[in-house]
Amino acid sequence: MNVIDVIITKRDGGRLSDEQIDWFIQRYTAGDIPDEQASALLMAILFRGLDPAELARWTAQMIATGSRADLSGLAKPTVDKHSTGGVGDKISLIVCPLLAACGAAVPQTAGRGLGHTGGTLDKMETIPGWRSTLDPDEVMRVLADSGAVINAAGPDLAPADRKLYALRDITGTVESIPLIASSIMSKKIAEGTGALVLDVKVGSGAFMKDEARAHELAETMVGLGAAHGVRTVALLTQMDVPLGRTAGNALEVVEAVEVLAGGGPSDVVELSLALAREMLDLVGLDRVDPVDLLHDGRAMDAWHALVRAQGGDPTAELPHAREVEVVTAPATGTLSRLDAMAVGVAAWRLGAGRARKEDAVSPVAGVTWHATVGDAVTEGQPLLSLHLDDPAKLPEALDALEGAVEVSSTPVAPPPMVLGRID
């Protein structure tokens, strides 16, 4: 096998054979193929694509570079959810314990924030004592005991993806839908879940700005799930407006706990229940209404069990910022625009996010908004609160919010939360 032949085949629009795919993934992961040649193939895939059979094989080989967890020993059905990333997206913190309370097991492998989008692990690590890295035996024990685990990806979870993802990031090939889909799905399939619900964000604060492209990505991932025996459904959800009322690590944990206690912002509750119901339907637990568990204390009990099972103290006070800068409403009327990307970038610049994977993040930095699109506002009222520990970061955060807010003199309806469903 010759890597140049593999590159030329795809460059010229040909179909990669199973043998070519297997050989390339194995040899690149082992370090036998240099980055410049792998980059050439990724660029060819960006322009030429992969057909469904090629993509299924590519994803299977990415999984095969590590191990696929076997969760068949659990007495509960397994189901997970994955979001493509947004601003204020704390839904995993709600859905994982909520599904556990409903009788499912949720083996969530989560990630860290990068750029303007937050990471589930960064949020959970603001809880004193909570551990993000568990070995396989601990994962099984936590799943058996608490019904949900939120864990960092171990070195044996689709290791090919770590190398390919890093290469895509520096070669302008991040936008390839087959490569995005295989990256996400290889890890989700390898974690061992039997069913999966995808939350594919669309809008200014999402990776996918265009609904047609988001729909294509969702269809591709649902197809990959089916090809690998994982029942998969996707919802397209809006991300022009940030989700809830907070963007920032500890801030979002507090808001998630409010929802688990039966309160919280209506849009967060709506999306949490929509995803939870899809997850329950996939594993045959649809006789349970998750809204009941938010109000009778069972969801909160499951949250406490999840946090304690990973060494955390769910009753501990979370850290908070030393300084808060208030931005006021520019006019009286209805808030007609609150740009998700601008809010996310502001939170990032305050310290809630990272520019590189190795950067540290602030547990306390972030943005709170006191109204969202469709709400009435009065000129001069507090509209945004910027939470920070480092005053030097404030000017750039305020710059990010220039033009992010608009107020209309006439009523404005908030955008619909769920834009579509793919199964």
CATH code of 287's domain: 3.40.1030.10
Q: pLDDT tens digits, residue range 191-200? A: 999 999 999 9
Q: Of 122, 161, 267, 339, which one is the catalytic site residue? A: 161
Same domain, 100 and 14: no
- Rounded to whole angstroms, how far apart are CA atoms 285 and 296? 18
The last residue of a domain, from among 309, 337, 352: 309
CATH of the domain at 336: 3.90.1170.30
Q: What is the pLDDT of residue 157?
A: 92
pLDDT computed for residue 168 by the predictor: 92
* Residues 45-97 pLDDT 10s: 999 999 999 999 999 999 999 999 999 999 999 999 999 999 999 999 999 99
Residue 355 has pLDDT above 80, yes or no: no
Considering the chain, what percentage of its residues have pLDDT values greater than 70?
100
Q: Is residue 54 part of a domain?
A: no
* Residue 11, domain member (yes or no): yes
Return the pLDDT at 112: 87
The pLDDT, as a whole number, for residue 154 is: 87
228 catalytic residue (yes or no): no
Q: Do 297 and 178 belong to one domain?
A: yes
Q: Which of 90, 112, 163, 168 is catalytic?
A: 168
**Which among 10, 76, 123, 187 is annotated as catalytic?**
187
116 noted as active-site residue: no
* 298 and 327 housed in the same domain: no
Q: 286 and 370, same structural domain?
A: no
In a domain, 302, yes or no: yes
Is a pLDDT exceeding 80 seen at residue 358? Answer: no
pLDDT at 252: 98
My answer on whether 221 and 278 are in the same domain is yes
114 has pLDDT over 80: no
Per-residue confidence (pLDDT) for residue 356, from 0 to 100: 76
- Examine residue 204 and state whether it is found in any structural domain, yes or no: yes
Average pLDDT on 316-332 reads 97
Domain co-membership, 240 together with 330: no
Give yes or no: residues 268 and 337 share one domain. no
Active-site position among 10, 57, 82, 215:
82
d(CA 82, CA 177): 16
Q: Which amino acid is at 11?
A: R
Question: How would residue 360 be classed by pLDDT, with cut points 50, 70 and 90?
Answer: confident
Residues 332 and 293 reside in one and the same domain: no
Residues 6+ apart with CB under 8 A from 300: 97, 257, 260, 261
> pLDDT at residue 215 above 80?
yes
- Mean pLDDT, to the nearest integer, of 299-312? 97
In which band, very low, low, confident or very high, does the pLDDT at 234 lie, cut at 50, 70 and 90? very high
pLDDT value of residue 359: 81
314 within a domain of the structure (yes/no): no
Residues 212 and 84 both lie in one domain: yes
Q: Give the CATH number of the domain where residue 43 resides.
A: 1.20.970.10
Averaged pLDDT score across all residues of the chain: 96
Q: Which residue among 309, 334, 354 closes a domain?
A: 309
- Is 17 annotated in the active site? no
* Domain range for 217: 80-158+169-309
Residue at token pair 């322009």: 47
- Any catalytic annotation for residue 161? yes
Give a yes or no: residue 316 inside a domain. no
* 227/102 same-domain check: yes
By C-alpha distance, which of 266, 63, 269, 288 is closest to 164?
63
66 within some domain: no
**Domain count of the fold of the chain:** 3
Is 195 domain-assigned? yes
Residue 388 has pLDDT above 90, yes or no: yes
Question: Same structural domain for residues 229 and 358?
Answer: no
295 and 333 housed in the same domain: no
- Residue 357 designated active-site: no
At 411, the amino acid letter reads P
Catalytic annotation, pick one of 83, 176, 183, 186: 183
